């Protein structure tokens, strides 16, 4: 494997609406991010991914882009962005933007022009397709519920539909049209020329369509089939577009790119993230894939620790020797990792440290999602009205339509909802958690008085300082090579223990985390050096003793 500039880096995701508000309107913004750059630096972050800040009607919280080359006024201006970029670089960090090009917003000029004139150049940027048998062209279900097809606005009386894999307000862009692809390359290069380091690439597994729109056998009682199943079918063909995107944009800029793509198989991995891959890396979304194989929140099931571990380990083993993965335990699309993947008795600071130990020493570029570094848990929502996410509302209504009670329908949204991770960042114990001087756009996490950055910043035993220690360990001169390039090897103990090795040239690092209530006594093969531990784990000679949530990291020199 070739060595790349971004190997060994630590990334951090900012959800801009909820990170830091600078002007009291209750919504996070670019000046707010600027004010917190020293905080990110202190944590040890190298690369900052900012979720979409482009002009948007925010139907899907900015993942519906109305103008790719302007900043939405709620976040500030392009001048603010330039200042943010300069300040970030001055601190030795980089910014990557969110590239949302499977679809745009129905408010984008392209879509407006396309609807106004079906013979325009812009009409060719979308999938405008004739109906079939008096209905939609096929039976795919959108990611946010209902058919992926709707009548073209202004042409409701015609037998003509446009495609949207996500919300109605997110029309899919037609990648089979070279003119559309040119527009995208131009825009991507414009951002890269500005000096951003690269992109997180949204929903990129969705861009390859079967232009005969054949549909798929129904997977639920609505007679529809989830669009993700069509994506899986088309996955092997994605390279046709992605290689061109790489050659025209990312490669000449030596950009760092991380793709959101589900189901990469071993066969295609080299093409995706090998030395000359389409992307630098891909998120490890394997846990979510298992959960989201079910058609709706009603059937979603949380993973056991063993399932969680098997997902992560499967990905790690697949990437060994081919390229780097981007391990995550949470992002803006998932509940908080500590609430979702740890047993209920570890839905706390101990669990946050345990899961951090697992995540931060895996092979790849770990991504930390804002608030994860202080151990934020799921938010308690008391009514569906407190959920802002359109996806949760759709799932709620679906459950209600199937006879579920309000309480039960709310419970599944609270357990699986994306808003769990989208509530404002908790900076201090003041009224609005130091996030804003106004009224936060979204509910504050229930524990904000005690669970916040201020309470943890100077506390040696805090989750925050444990994250700092893990990052410092990864970056330490002595262990950098092993923790960056060392192969991953699973270690089997029992179903409640997550243990693995990193095999470096001059050392092996062993990571052991116990998630059972019962203590674990574990004998290592040789006597090692304890590099870091959490939750009172201890090591004497070859004997490791790990209580509930205990984690230990040991080095064995060769
Ligand atoms: C990605 C984003 C998600 C968004 C969707 C549509 O999955 O992470 O937040 O809703 O794409 O853009
Ligand atoms: Ca603001």
Residue located nearest, by CA, to atom 4 of ligand 1: 63
Tell the residue number behind the tokens 């151990």, with chain if given.
Answer: 375
Q: What is the dihedral of CA 217, 218, 223, 228, to 10 degrees?
A: -110
- 202 ligand 1 Cβ < 6 A: yes
Ligand 1, atom 12: nearest CA belongs to which residue? 63
**Residues 552 and 530 sit within 8 Å (Cβ to Cβ):** yes
391 CA: nearest ligand 1 atom: 10
Q: Kindly tell me the number of DSSP H helices and DSSP E strands found in the chain.
A: 18, 23
Distance 435 CA to ligand 2 centre (A): 10
Instruction: Tell whether ligand 1 has an atom less than 6 A from the beta carbon of residue 334.
Output: no
d(CA 488, CA 426): 34
Q: Which atom of ligand 1 is nearest to the CA of 331?
A: 8
- Does the C-beta of 429 come closer than 6 Å to ligand 1? no
- Joined together, the tokens standing for residue 396 give 């709620």
The pTM score is 0.98
Task: State in Å: Cα 65 to ligand 2 middle.
Answer: 19
13: which 2 tokens?
A: 């995701």
Per DSSP, the residues of 245-311 read HIIIIIHHHT-EEEE--S---HHHHHHHHSTT-SSSEEE--HHHHHHTTSSSTTT--PPPHHHHHHH
- CB within 8 Å of 51: residues ≥ 6 apart: 13, 14, 15, 16, 61, 62, 63, 98, 332
Residue 31 CA to ligand 2 center (angstroms) comes to 8
For the CA of 288, the nearest ligand? 1
310 as an active site residue: the answer is no
- Relative to the CA of 60, which ligand 1 atom is closest? 10
Which of the listed residues 52, 166, 207 should we mutate to test ligand 1's pocket, taking the one with most ligand atoms within 8 A of CB?
166
Tell me if 419 sits within 8 A of 388, measured CB to CB.
yes
User: Which residue of the set 29, 183, 260, 334 is catalytic?
Assistant: 260
Residue 256's alpha-carbon distances to 6, 41, 44, 285, 447, in angstroms, are: 7, 19, 18, 19, 36
Ligand 2: centre distance to CA 80 (Å) = 12
**Ligand nearest to C-alpha 418:** 1
Smallest Cα–Cα separation from 180: which of 116, 244, 235?
Answer: 244
Q: What's 38's DSSP letter?
A: H
For the question of residue 270 being annotated catalytic, the response is no
State the ligand closest to the CA atom of 33: 2
Residue where the block lists tokens 């950055």: 453
Which ligand lies nearest to the CA atom of residue 22 in the structure? Answer: 2
- Rounded distance, CA 288 to CA 517, Å? 25
149 lines ligand 1 (CB under 6 A): no
Minimum-distance ligand 1 atom for the alpha carbon of 102: 12
Residue 529 C-alpha to ligand 1 middle, in angstroms?
43
pLDDT in tens, the chain (558 residues): 899 999 999 999 999 999 999 999 999 999 999 999 999 999 999 999 999 999 999 999 999 999 999 999 999 999 999 999 999 999 999 999 999 999 999 999 999 999 999 999 999 999 999 999 999 999 999 999 999 999 999 999 999 999 999 999 999 999 999 999 999 999 999 999 999 999 999 999 999 999 999 999 999 999 999 999 999 999 999 999 999 999 999 999 999 999 999 878 899 999 999 999 999 999 999 999 999 999 899 999 999 999 999 999 999 999 999 999 999 999 999 999 999 999 999 999 999 999 999 999 999 999 999 999 999 999 999 999 999 999 999 999 999 999 999 999 999 999 999 999 999 999 999 999 999 999 999 999 999 999 999 999 999 999 999 999 999 999 999 999 999 999 999 999 999 999 999 999 999 999 999 999 999 999 999 999 999 999 999 999 999 999 999 999 999 999
Distance 453 CA to ligand 1 centre (A): 28
Cα 502 to Cα 42, 328, 331, 453, 483: the distances in Å are 26, 18, 25, 31, 7
């Amino acid at each position: 494997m070739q060595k790349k500039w971004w190997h060994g880096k630590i990334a951090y995701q900012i959800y801009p609406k909820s990170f830091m508000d600078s002007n009291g309107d209750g919504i996070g913004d670019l000046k707010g991010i600027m004010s917190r750059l020293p905080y990110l630096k202190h944590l040890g972050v190298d690369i900052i991914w900012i979720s979409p800040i482009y002009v948007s009607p925010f139907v899907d919280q900015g993942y519906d882009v109305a103008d790719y080359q302007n900043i939405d006024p709620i976040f500030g201006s392009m001048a603010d962005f330039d200042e943010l970029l300069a300040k970030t670089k001055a601190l030795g960090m980089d910014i990557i933007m969110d590239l949302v090009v499977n679809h745009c917003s129905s408010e984008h000029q392209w879509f407006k022009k396309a609807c106004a004139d079906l013979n325009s150049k812009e009409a060719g940027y979308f999938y405008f397709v004739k109906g079939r048998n008096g209905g939609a062209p096929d039976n795919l279900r959108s990611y946010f519920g209902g058919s992926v097809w709707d009548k073209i606005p202004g042409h409701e009386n015609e037998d003509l539909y446009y495609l949207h894999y996500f919300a109605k307000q997110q029309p899919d862009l037609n990648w089979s049209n070279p003119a559309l692809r040119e527009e995208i390359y131009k825009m991507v290069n414009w951002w890269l020329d500005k000096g951003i380091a690269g992109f997180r690439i949204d929903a990129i597994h969705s861009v390859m369509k079967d232009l005969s729109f054949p549909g798929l056998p129904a997977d639920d009682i609505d007679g529809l089939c989830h669009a993700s199943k069509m994506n899986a079918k088309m996955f092997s063909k994605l390279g046709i577009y992605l290689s061109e995107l790489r050659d025209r944009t990312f490669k000449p800029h030596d950009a760092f790119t991380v793709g959101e793509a589900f189901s990469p198989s071993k066969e295609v991995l080299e093409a995706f993230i090998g030395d000359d891959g389409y992307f630098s890396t891909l998120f490890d979304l394997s846990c979510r894939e298992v959960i989201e194989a079910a058609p709706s929140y009603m059937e979603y099931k949380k993973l056991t620790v063993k399932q969680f571990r098997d997902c992560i380990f499967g990905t790690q083993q697949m990437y060994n020797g081919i390229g780097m993965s981007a391990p995550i335990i949470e992002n803006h699309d998932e509940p908080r990792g500590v609430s979702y993947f740890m047993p209920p008795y570890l839905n706390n600071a101990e669990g946050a440290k345990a899961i951090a130990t697992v995540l931060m020493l895996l092979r790849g570029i770990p991504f930390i999602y804002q608030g994860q570094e202080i151990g934020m848990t799921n938010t308690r929502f008391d009514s569906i009205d407190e959920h802002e996410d359109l996806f949760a509302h759709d799932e709620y209504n679906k459950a209600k339509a199937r006879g579920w009670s309000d309480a039960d329908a709310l419970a599944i949204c609270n357990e699986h909802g994306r808003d769990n991770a989208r509530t404002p960042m908790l900076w201090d114990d003041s009224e609005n958690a130091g996030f804003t001087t106004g009224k936060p756009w979204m509910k504050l996490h229930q524990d904000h008085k005690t669970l916040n950055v201020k309470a943890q910043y100077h506390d040696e035993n805090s989750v925050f300082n444990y994250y700092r220690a893990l990052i410092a360990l990864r970056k330490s001169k002595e262990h950098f090579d092993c923790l960056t390039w060392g192969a991953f090897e699973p270690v089997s103990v029992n179903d409640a223990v997550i243990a693995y090795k990193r095999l470096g040239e001059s050392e092996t690092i062993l990571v052991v985390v116990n998630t059972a209530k019962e203590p674990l006594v574990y004998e290592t093969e040789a006597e090692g050096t304890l590099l870091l531990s959490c939750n009172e784990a201890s090591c004497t000679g070859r004997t490791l003793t790990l209580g509930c949530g205990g984690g230990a990291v040991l080095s064995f020199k060769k």
